[in-house]
Copies of this chain bind each other. A is one copy, B any other.
Amino acid sequence: MPEQKHGDTERRLLAGALSVFCEKGYDGASIREIIKRAEVTRPVLYYYFANKEGLFHRLVTDSFEQAFAEFENALAGVVGCRARLKALIRVAFARTECSPEVARFLLHVFFSPPQEGPQFDKVRFGRRRLGLVAALMREGIEAGELAGGDPETLALAFCGLMDMHIMAKAQEPERRLTPELGQDLVDLFMDGARSGVPAV
């Protein structure tokens, strides 16, 4: 029975910390508020985690690894650049809709000032995701599906297009990130915004 209680308390702590970090950022979040939301006293936090930084680090890596794994799963077996991008954005949007805090949290961490919070390499996480997308772009170019250009630039553009919509939802939660919107965004990325009349 201790097993059950142990896991539950830890989960409450992680949930409380996620919501506070998500609202106030690392430095703005206080241990006192985290334990309040987790309905736990202070030393309990230090029983489960080394310190504030450890709790934060755990939260970041867990959230990121799970999201990243889902991205990779979504791509398995899907062929074609356009279809793969659609699979990617579908998962990203679905995740955001069903657990907005996690998505927000990761984006806030990624976009936060370099020295906010612990000194660990948030940039590394951003780059891993970017690398995944850049690989898609490279495949697309080699397959002749994409016109060309720098794969990393294309990846930045696509991630920007996707993340900006996720951030927008964070700021106005009534905005819906539907699968259809995701598909439209990929089509926009692939086909461009200009009207169909042939340019020149």
Contacts and interface: CB of A to CB of B under 8 A. Distances in A.
Interface in A155-187: 156-157, 159-165, 167-168, 170-172, 181, 184-185
Q: Is chain A's binding surface mostly helix, strand, loop or mixed?
A: helix
A193 B134 CA distance: 13
Contacts of A157: 161, 164-165, 185, 188-189, 193
Nearest to A112: B25
A99 to B, nearest CB: 16
**How many copies altogether?**
2
Measured as residues with beta carbon below 8 angstroms from the partner, the interface class of chain A is 35 or more
B171 A164 contact: no
A188 B154 contact: yes
Contacts of A195: 144-148
A3 interface: no
6 contacts: A27-B28, A108-B112, A123-B172, A137-B193, A147-B195, A157-B161
Interface of A: 21-28, 82, 104, 107-108, 111-117, 123, 126, 137, 140, 144-149, 153-154, 156-157, 159-165, 167-168, 170-172, 181, 184-185, 188-197, 199
